[in-house]
Amino acid sequence: MNHQVYKSHKNALPGPNNISRVVLSNGITILTRSNFNSPTLSIKGYLPNGSIFDPEEILGLSYLTAHGLMNGTQRYDFQHLYDKIESVGARLGFSAGTLTTSFSAHCLSEDLTLMMGLIADSLRTPTFPEREFQRQKTQLLTSLAIRAQDTSAMASLLFDQTIYANHPYRHPDEGHPETVQAITREDIVDFYQRTYGPQGMVVVAVGAVEPETVIETVSEVLGDWSNDKQTALPNIPDAPALQTTTRKSLSIPGKSQADIVMGFAAPNRQSPDYFPLRIGNNILGEFGMMGRLGQRVREEAGLAYYAYSSYSAGLGPGSIEMIAGVNPTNIEQTIQLITEELTQFIAQPVTPEELSDSKSYFLGRMPLLLESNSGVAVALLNMERFELGLDYFHQYPQNIQAISAEQILSASQRTMDPDRLAIAIAGP
């Protein structure tokens, strides 16, 4: 259906016929797609490193390294570098996740060469000046102090520590105040030398440029990059389910609202359970006004402004999280309502009407997700990272339509056991 809708438009569905993919000899993959509807360009990409490499006593190391790349390069100091970017109204930033260091740039298409040059400079010749390093460390410590006061962020942190107990994912990418305090500039330089390099790097550019121009430009600035010491990502172990329901609470005095995160570790992006769980989660806590959870907790009980669920799935174990922000006196009632909904969800298949609605939602959402250059760039990155294939969007309608209520039920039963729930609460 959606493919038909797209056929009459200039902005065709991304697919093998309009995506160019090239792998350079040093291991960098380039994906690019032209869109001349507006004179803008989105450049995104990642390197396969991240907080997975952080030693426990200096968590936050990969975060500070990624954010330090633009503190100065051999060619430009901090102000000079940002002057280049901001003078043309562009944006560039690096950020660290658990398994990736990502970058994202937005600019006018005429500034492709400038921006790729700055990305390459930041990646290849960062100088990590001491003064800027200390300033960035203070900024991170302040944001950790702010995080400590954020009921939503702290409940999420507690939740990760519960579902990923004894798993590398239990650590936050930004670290903790004491681990960040212990990081030195030498740690950063060492981390950079060990984990940054072209192997496994991906660059995506979408916008008003020809594919050949993108490939030439990236090859020019990154094609001869090498690092013999670059460490490959380790294999990520599974996260075993909890043996029993585990509840953790954190008191943050003076707050008005408590945040609750309940849920489970969940299958990764490449699991056969991915689509059943994606649709199942939509029905449970996303569709319309936050699905069944929103209906029960907000629309019927009036207990919360938000009560929803989300399913995150990457290369390692993902998570299903059911989230609500409530008055502290309503915590127990909310947990009970969510647990009841969950129990019901794994006892009975979703109704034909719910399934049809949800599938229709996913198919209808495609043109909206792919409207902007950055939306298409994210889609291309995911295609590469999770090996989805360049024809992913052409296959997508069939993949969605093929899912049955029984598949959703069995995938949900495998993943969500109300007797093995993780419950994390942060509030006054």
Partner 1 sequence: MKNEDTLFYTLDNGLTVHLKEIHNAPIISTWVWYRVGSRNETLGKTGISHWVEHMQFNGTKKFPKKVLDRQISRVGGIWNAMTYLDWTTYFETLPAHVFEISLALEADRMANSRFDPDEVDRERKVILSEREGNENQPHFLLGEAVQETAFQNHPYKNQVIGSTNDLLSITRDDLCGHYKQYYHPGNAILAIAGDFKADQMQKNIEETFGKIPDGRQVASAIPADPPLNGERRVEVEGPGETTYVQISYRAPKANDPDFFILTILDSLLSGPTSLNMFGSGGTSNKTSRLYRALVEDEIAVSCFGALQATLDPYLYTLHLTVHPLHSPEEVLQAVDTELNRVLDAPITRDEIARAIKQAKALFAYSSENISNQAFWLGYSEIFANYDWFENYVTHLAKVTPEDVMDIARKYLTPKNRVVGFYLPQKDQTKA
Are 19 and 390 in contact by the 8 Å Cβ rule? The answer is: yes
Q: How far is the CB of 176 from partner 1 (least distance, A)?
A: 15
Q: How far is the CB of 378 from partner 1 (least distance, A)?
A: 10
Residue list 141-160, contact with partner 1 (CB under 8 A) = 141-142, 145-146, 148-151
What is the rounded distance in angstroms from the CA atom of residue 141 to the CA atom of residue 175?
10
Please choose, out of 37-45, 227-235, 264-272, 311-319, the segment that lies near partner 1 by the rule CB under 8 A: 37-45
The one among 168, 325, 349, 418 contacting partner 1 by CB under 8 A: 325
- Stretch (H or E) spanning 40: strand 40-47
Q: How many CA atoms lie within 13 A of 9 on its CB side?
A: 15
C-alpha triplet 56, 60, 62: angle, nearest 5°:
100
Site string (160-199) toward partner 1, x via CB under 8 A: ----------------------------------------
Collapsing DSSP to helix, strand or coil, 101 comes out as strand
Residue list 82-101, contact with partner 1 (CB under 8 A) = 82-83, 85-91, 93
Site string (331-370) toward partner 1, x via CB under 8 A: --------------------------x--xxxxxxxxx-x
- 305 is a site residue for partner 1 (CB under 8 A): yes
Instruction: Quote the tokens at residue 120.
Output: 């390459």
Per DSSP (E only), the strands in 252-317 are 258-266, 304-312
Q: How far is the CB of 45 from partner 1 (least distance, A)?
A: 15
Residue list 270-289, contact with partner 1 (CB under 8 A) = 287-289
Pairing state of beta strands 91-96 and 304-312?
unpaired
Residue list 372-411, contact with partner 1 (CB under 8 A) = 372-375
Nearer to partner 1, 245 or 327 (CB): 327
The one among 77, 78, 249, 310 contacting partner 1 by CB under 8 A: 78
Identity of the amino acid at 61: L
Q: How far is the CB of 253 from partner 1 (least distance, A)?
A: 4
Nearer to partner 1, 131 or 237 (CB): 131
What is the rounded distance in angstroms from the CA atom of residue 251 to the CA atom of residue 155?
10
Helix ranges (DSSP H) in 182-273? 185-195, 211-222
Nearer to partner 1, 191 or 311 (CB): 311
What is the rounded distance in angstroms from the CA atom of residue 100 to the CA atom of residue 50?
5
- 261 is a site residue for partner 1 (CB under 8 A): no
The one among 157, 293, 326, 416 contacting partner 1 by CB under 8 A: 326
Q: How far is the CB of 335 from partner 1 (least distance, A)?
A: 16
- 53 is a site residue for partner 1 (CB under 8 A): no
Q: How far is the CB of 10 from partner 1 (least distance, A)?
A: 7
Q: How far is the CB of 276 from partner 1 (least distance, A)?
A: 19
| DSSP string over 168-197 | GGGS-TT--HHHHHT--HHHHHHHHHHH-S
- 250 is a site residue for partner 1 (CB under 8 A): no
Please choose, out of 23-31, 235-243, 300-308, 388-396, the segment that lies near partner 1 by the rule CB under 8 A: 300-308
What is the rounded distance in angstroms from the CA atom of residue 45 to the CA atom of residue 112?
14
How many CB atoms are closer than 10 A to CB 170?
A: 14
Residue list 5-24, contact with partner 1 (CB under 8 A) = 5-6, 8-11
Q: How far is the CB of 264 from partner 1 (least distance, A)?
A: 25
Nearer to partner 1, 31 or 90 (CB): 90
298 Cβ partners below 8 Å, 6+ apart?
Answer: 289, 290, 304, 305, 306, 307
Collapsing DSSP to helix, strand or coil, 203 comes out as strand
Q: How far is the CB of 412 from partner 1 (least distance, A)?
A: 20
What is the rounded distance in angstroms from the CA atom of residue 307 to the CA atom of residue 257?
13
